[in-house]
Structure 1
Amino acid sequence: MPQRVLIAGTSPLLAGRLAARCLAAGERAADTEVVLLSVVRSRPGAPAPGRRELAGFVTEQGSGAEGPDALDAGRLTVVCVEPDGVDAELKAWTAEQVWCVVPGWDRSRARGARADAALAGSLLAALPGLGARRYVQVGQDPAPDDDRARRSCRDLERPAVEACLDSGVSWRMLRTAPVVDARAPALGECPPGAHRLLWALDSVRAEVADRVPDWFERQPLRVAGVAGLGLPLLTAERAAGELWRAGAPGDLPDGFAAVPRPAPVPLTDVLARAGAVHGIDVRPVPDRADFNAVDRLLDLRLTGVRRQAVRLRGTAPAGPSGAAEAARSGGPAHGTARSGPDGTDTATAATGAGAGAAQAPLPPSADGTAPSDAPSSLSPAGQWELFGAVRAHGASPDAARGTGGLRRRVVDVAGRPLVLFEGGTGEGPPLLVLNALGQGPGFLTRLCAHLVPHHRVVTWQVRGTEREDPPWGTRHQLDDIDAVLAAVGAERAHLLGWCTGAKIATAFQQHRPGAVASLVFLNATFRQNDRWDGMDTKYESDLAAVCRALDRRPEKAAWMLDLLAPGAAGGGGSPGARDAGVLGVLSRALADEVRRPFRDAEVLVRYARQLVDLWRLDSAAQAPRVAVPTLFVCSEFDGISSPARAREAARCFPHARYAELAVAGHYAPHDRPALVAELITEFLRAPREVADLVRYAEITWHIDTEGTAR
């Protein structure tokens, strides 16, 4: 009778490779059925793979070294389920052996810990109903200095051991260090360590190249804090093989084991090779004193990479605090190396204990062969090949093309056409995206492309600046929102306002409180005449002077067109902020969009009068009555809308969260669409918890207490 193995995991990469091992291993391979249960919540920038994609990945792995006949599609069932659907799905299955693959690789620690704990809890509760006789849990083997991750790992292992003992189920608790694999980006994964390093380089390169394509042909990228550190480069194939060896045999005793780490590769070497693959000259420097904005951005994105790194033998942190840092990091250097029988370097350092027990060596395989002390390090040539493959698999289509996956349609409102763009099929209220006054849809197409897979998104062409438009003040903008709600058949919606859209969204919430589920403000301007004096950016001051003059003397519009240069704004930041440099340059894709309100005298007059009307609106008086969750997302280098004023405005909203993006400008929704979309998506799912769920080094959360921003 065939035996069934259930492999459930939050890592499709590792769970898929284990499924391939299971289907191809041992004499009973032909009698084994595998159910691969992928429990991954898709999010912007990291879409979860579908059933066909995962099945193809497993088949591809099994048709390699194990031979073309190792996998039979009839013996593999792939199920992709949302976290809240796991309990119901498990009721449909029985399995002799259950694998829980929870390596903790989510980029957000808090989100990853919750997802891993939820899956493990569901599987453990279901063990009696599944009829399981053996349970294997694969968790993370944290870096030696990462005490927080070690506590999280133990918190997962303890209840698992207790549940297995109570149920009379044999168990193995296994750990693995983060892996590197060319297919990880295609499966929506970015494990800690090498993958986060490659992502950091590629994301910085893309953000700079969007402005100045040849920047890195003339400029190096400087890094600090990497001397004396190394990364173990463990391939997913090797990790899956060692895990299967340690957990699959049914006659193994209960206990703990971990995949040995390869000897760490100096982080300076990894950065140099990864930089070359991306066409970047990466130069280590002793400190951050002379960092420009691009260097700072990379430094922030490498924060987690440094946390995963280990100190190389015989090195100590630079500077007078080196001894103290060494003591905090665990004393002696980690990753002691020796020469293996084939001349490669192997690591002999211990990998840590599980749940307070001593770490056991990996057991022999079913054929009696013993594993090596540790996998060999990737050769320089292997690193070149792997890093290049990761970049190739991570390439994605340009989300800026078209309208971000939105369909265009025209509806009649007040006897005039209103152009709508809509897409997506998310559950719950739709997300209405209020563009800035005078702007076209191009500013938000990248953001909408990342939002559409998760939400029903609707935006429209803001009226009032085209030559054929009648005067269109704030009251008319509220009427348009009413009309959009009716057109999409929704009684309630989330409102997202970019720039001037924030004040209009606030006014609509007061106009129809029951129709608004939440508010999101991106790079919001809350400018109001005679309020919050002294907080204007230079651009806001200049714009206000021009608009007031044109409201009184519209005949002067022709010679005022050249007074404003919006393409040069956006990188000055708050008073006293460091220069944004190349990150303050306007994206080439926005060159025409940003000139839209300034293309001729008549349009400029209409735009000026819309702004003058908006500045009369007292949002500060309205804000205390806003009873829905509100998210502010602003930018350190916003030289158009004042971040200082946005922070003051957030104080007035009873349920506000305020996030500031480091080294970002006014057009952050365009420049960093995946990150901004992730903030929005997690906020709409869990508004009270968003500051914990999306906590990265490049985001500063300004929160004192519940509902109070600072």
Structure 2
Amino acid sequence: MRQRVLIAGTSPLLAGRLAARCLAAAPGTEVVLVSAALSRPGQPAPDRRELARFVAGCAGGDEAAEAFGAERLSVVCAEPHAVAAELTAWAAEQVWCVVPGWDRSPARGARADTVLTGALLGALPGLGARGYVHVGPDTAPDEDRAHRALERLAVEACLDAGVSWRVLRTPPVVDAWAPALGECPPGAHRLLGALHSVRAEIEDRAPGWFERHPLRVADAAGLGLSLLDAERAAGELWRAGAPGELPDGFATVPRPAPVPLTDVLARGGAVHGIDVRPLPEGESPGAEDRLLDLRLSDVRRHAVPLGNRTGPGEHAGARPAPGTAPGAGAPAAPPLSPAAQWDLFGAVRACQSSRSGVREPKLRRRVVDVAGRPLVLFDGGNGEGTPLLVLNALGQGPGFLNRLCAHLTPYHRLATWQVRGTERADPDWGVPRQLDDIEAVLEAVGWERAHLLGWCTGAKIATAFQQRRPEAVASLVFLNATFRQNDRWDGMDTKYESDLAAVCRALDRGPEKAARMLDLLAPGAVGGKGGSRGDRDAGVLGVLSPALAEEVRRPFRDAEVLVRYARQLVDLWRLDSAAQAPRVRVPTLFVSSEFDGISSPARAREAARCFPRARYAELAVAGHYAPHDRPALVAELITEFVRAPHEVAGLVRDAEITWHIDSEGAAR
């Protein structure tokens, strides 16, 4: 009977490299690879085929052919909570639990790692395992109590079961495959991810901007990053935990000597076509610099002072444990050479670029008859939970929300529609008729209950529908919401809202003026000033993406459409959502933007305090079109909120997000 090794991990990158090591080192061994990676918007977990291809690529040549020709590799993909059920089908002489703690959300990652560890330890007797290897992060004990507790749990469980054990620790790694596997380990990968995402967001607004402008970074001097190649880390881990007569004990993969963070930024920036410079002393960062700085926050947390050769998981005078990995406790290994860094960073960027194209949501388009008029409906997506119903802003087409929907549909069933009332053939279509349309959409897609997502003016309509049909609404999500109301002069309106209100009231009384007012209203690049921080300039981040140019002009394309749009807004502004809010008993999430110059973040934040079960998150250095500009982050907020509304503020801790209200009755 062949020996079988079962390798399960929340990191498919590291677990897959260990599987390849095992296949190459032990020709008579069968490997079961269990990927328990959490999948989320912007970071989807790989499927079985992708993982098998990755392992084959790592094993290489004859070993890969033998692995698949003789069916020596089995791949299982399951959420952490479903792993226990999958394990009942297997037996294995040795079990590896790979939980390196690399999730961007420490709370979410620790929960997944705990569930996976518990499932594997509970299954040891049934698996018939004689050895257990636990792979965790190399961090200081007082900085990562959760993973140290898992190590203790593993040792105790193995002692009780009479199973030999090894506890291994590894620093974060760098690997060209990481983006393809949906992973972004701490350190260099998050630095490269920050550069890639900032470039993509700015180039979407202003192609060629980086040919004329640098990005400036503060507080990088004196810090360094350890660049540990993933293949090397897997080799050290395999030698320290491979099946055999190794004694029980601990081992740590040695960290390479740190590379100055300024050098890594310069090389990573050059690979991405960005001139990254230090911020001169005394100068203030621009909005673009601030965005990069926020996305580098986590990188600085994992950096080390350049004069400190002691890693996070070590202390002065520490001794290697019996059976430690080769080099553990010895001086730091040489860092990656500059040439190796260029090659590796270039390979990572190529992988990033291959996965970052603009995606269209996979929604079917159909036309249904509602109230004697055609209604254009889009629906589709995956997921078993309560579906999402997306309410667009009045007068707008679906293009604003396409990118957001593309990030949501892999995880949720979703429906949206073309809001009616501005086409020439439409009769007056006020709030009551908008609510009728929501009912009709729910009936057309066959849903009795849904989470309602309202963008901009859609937030007030969503609130009104929840009051009409409370049993049909599971929760409310408001994106860059406007809660403007007639006869409220409290100074919270943006300049755009004030100007729009004056013009719309004038058109409601005198529609013949519409042709002269067309050029006064189209927002264009509005959204870069006048947000919650006064008149601070968002720079290029306040420029409208060319992809939205036609969508923005939709309500302003001719005089007749403009009059209809103006009357819809005047009707909406009569609606007092603040009076309805105290009766809203479902969880409510507000997502606003610091530089929203169209919908007032200050008024939205004030409105959030009226909703009994509200959370309020504000995106830094973002404008009104954040669902288009940062769809992955907004989709992650929505996904975590509808799964666990009471925990969303703890699960989505990002430097770009400020939680002003993060629990019931707790306003910051």
Output one character per residue of 1:312-361: Cα deviation in whole Å (capped at 9) or x when no partner: 12xxxxxxxxxxxxxxxxxxx235xxxxxxxxxxxxx695279x995427
Matched, 1:515 2:490: no
The corresponding residue for 1:339 is: none
1:93 partner SS: coil
Judged with a 3 Å threshold, the aligned counterparts in structure 2 of structure 1 residues 304 and 553 are, in CA distance, closer, same or farther, namely: same
- Mapping for residues 444-459 of structure 1, pairs under 5 Å: 444-459=401-416
The corresponding residue for 1:360 is: 321
- CA distance in structure 2 between the partners assigned to 1:400 and 1:74 by the alignment: 37
- CA distance in structure 1 between the partners assigned to 2:396 and 2:62 by the alignment: 56
- CA distance in structure 1 between the partners assigned to 2:338 and 2:359 by the alignment: 38
2:592 partner SS: strand
Output one character per residue of 1:602-648: Cα deviation in whole Å (capped at 9) or x when no partner: 00000000000000001011111111111100000000000000000
The aligned amino acid for 1:148 is E
The corresponding residue for 1:253 is: 247
Judged with a 3 Å threshold, the aligned counterparts in structure 2 of structure 1 residues 399 and 377 are, in CA distance, closer, same or farther, namely: closer
The corresponding residue for 2:450 is: 493
The corresponding residue for 2:143 is: 148
Deviation at 1:158, TM superposition (A): 1.2
- CA distance in structure 1 between the partners assigned to 2:533 and 2:315 by the alignment: 51
The aligned amino acid for 2:442 is L
2:532 partner SS: coil
1:49 maps to which of 46, 53, 56: 46
Q: Is the CA contact 1:20–1:71 (under 8 Å) kept in the aligned structure 2?
A: no
2:71 partner SS: helix
Deviation at 1:487, TM superposition (A): 0.3
Gaps of 5+ in 2: none
Deviation at 1:540, TM superposition (A): 0.3
- CA distance in structure 2 between the partners assigned to 1:396 and 1:526 by the alignment: 40
Deviation at 1:148, TM superposition (A): 2.4
The corresponding residue for 2:77 is: 80
Deviation at 1:126, TM superposition (A): 1.4
Matched, 1:541 2:498: yes
2:609 partner SS: helix
- CA distance in structure 2 between the partners assigned to 1:362 and 1:579 by the alignment: 58
Deviation at 1:132, TM superposition (A): 1.1
Q: Once structures 1 and 2 are overlaid, which stretch shifts more, 155-164 or 370-379? A: 370-379
Matched, 1:529 2:486: yes
Q: Is the CA contact 2:457–2:481 (under 8 Å) kept in the aligned structure 1?
A: yes
- CA distance in structure 2 between the partners assigned to 1:527 and 1:288 by the alignment: 40
- Mapping for residues 655-694 of structure 1, pairs under 5 Å: 655-694=613-652
Matched, 1:62 2:97: no
The corresponding residue for 2:177 is: 183
The corresponding residue for 2:348 is: 390
The corresponding residue for 1:701 is: 659
The corresponding residue for 2:603 is: 645
- Mapping for residues 433-448 of structure 1, pairs under 5 Å: 433-448=390-405
The corresponding residue for 2:296 is: 302
1:592 partner SS: helix
The corresponding residue for 1:14 is: 14
The aligned amino acid for 2:528 is G
Output one character per residue of 1:367-400: Cα deviation in whole Å (capped at 9) or x when no partner: xx99986543211111111111101111246664
1:566 maps to which of 523, 530, 539: 523
Q: What value does the CA root-mean-square deviation take over the aligned residues? A: 2.1
The aligned amino acid for 2:161 is S
- CA distance in structure 2 between the partners assigned to 1:190 and 1:479 by the alignment: 45
Q: Once structures 1 and 2 are overlaid, which stretch shifts more, 523-532 or 11-20? A: 523-532
The corresponding residue for 1:334 is: 309
Q: How many residues align?
A: 667
2:82 partner SS: helix
Deviation at 1:92, TM superposition (A): 1.6
TM-score by length of 2: 0.96
Deviation at 1:530, TM superposition (A): 2.2
Deviation at 1:4, TM superposition (A): 1.2
Deviation at 1:405, TM superposition (A): 1.9
- CA distance in structure 1 between the partners assigned to 2:143 and 2:331 by the alignment: 27
Judged with a 3 Å threshold, the aligned counterparts in structure 2 of structure 1 residues 73 and 261 are, in CA distance, closer, same or farther, namely: farther
Matched, 1:480 2:474: no
- CA distance in structure 1 between the partners assigned to 2:527 and 2:325 by the alignment: 61
- CA distance in structure 2 between the partners assigned to 1:147 and 1:281 by the alignment: 38
The corresponding residue for 1:121 is: 118
Deviation at 1:109, TM superposition (A): 1.2
Matched, 1:293 2:293: no
Output one character per residue of 1:218-238: Cα deviation in whole Å (capped at 9) or x when no partner: 111000111011111001100
The aligned amino acid for 1:360 is A
The corresponding residue for 2:548 is: 590
Q: Is the CA contact 1:399–1:449 (under 8 Å) kept in the aligned structure 2?
A: no
The corresponding residue for 1:275 is: 269
Output one character per residue of 1:70-94: Cα deviation in whole Å (capped at 9) or x when no partner: 6655011000011221111112211
The corresponding residue for 1:35 is: 32
2:381 maps to which of 412, 419, 424: 424
TM-score by length of 1: 0.91
Deviation at 1:425, TM superposition (A): 2.2
- CA distance in structure 1 between the partners assigned to 2:358 and 2:564 by the alignment: 28
The aligned amino acid for 1:334 is R
Q: Is the CA contact 1:242–1:371 (under 8 Å) kept in the aligned structure 2?
A: no
- CA distance in structure 2 between the partners assigned to 1:485 and 1:73 by the alignment: 51
Deviation at 1:481, TM superposition (A): 0.4
- CA distance in structure 1 between the partners assigned to 2:102 and 2:43 by the alignment: 12
Q: Is the CA contact 1:654–1:708 (under 8 Å) kept in the aligned structure 2?
A: no
Deviation at 1:576, TM superposition (A): 2.4
The aligned amino acid for 2:321 is A
The aligned amino acid for 1:188 is G
1:524 partner SS: coil
Judged with a 3 Å threshold, the aligned counterparts in structure 2 of structure 1 residues 110 and 463 are, in CA distance, closer, same or farther, namely: same
Matched, 1:207 2:201: yes
- CA distance in structure 1 between the partners assigned to 2:304 and 2:490 by the alignment: 50
Output one character per residue of 1:288-311: Cα deviation in whole Å (capped at 9) or x when no partner: 741000000100100110111111
Q: Is the CA contact 1:14–1:101 (under 8 Å) kept in the aligned structure 2?
A: yes
Q: Is the CA contact 2:320–2:329 (under 8 Å) kept in the aligned structure 1?
A: no
Q: Once structures 1 and 2 are overlaid, which stretch shifts more, 63-72 or 187-196? A: 63-72
Judged with a 3 Å threshold, the aligned counterparts in structure 2 of structure 1 residues 73 and 677 are, in CA distance, closer, same or farther, namely: farther
Aligned-pair identity in percent equals: 78
Deviation at 1:433, TM superposition (A): 0.4
The aligned amino acid for 2:567 is R
Judged with a 3 Å threshold, the aligned counterparts in structure 2 of structure 1 residues 126 and 68 are, in CA distance, closer, same or farther, namely: closer
The aligned amino acid for 2:143 is R
- Mapping for residues 151-170 of structure 1, pairs under 5 Å: 151-170=145-164
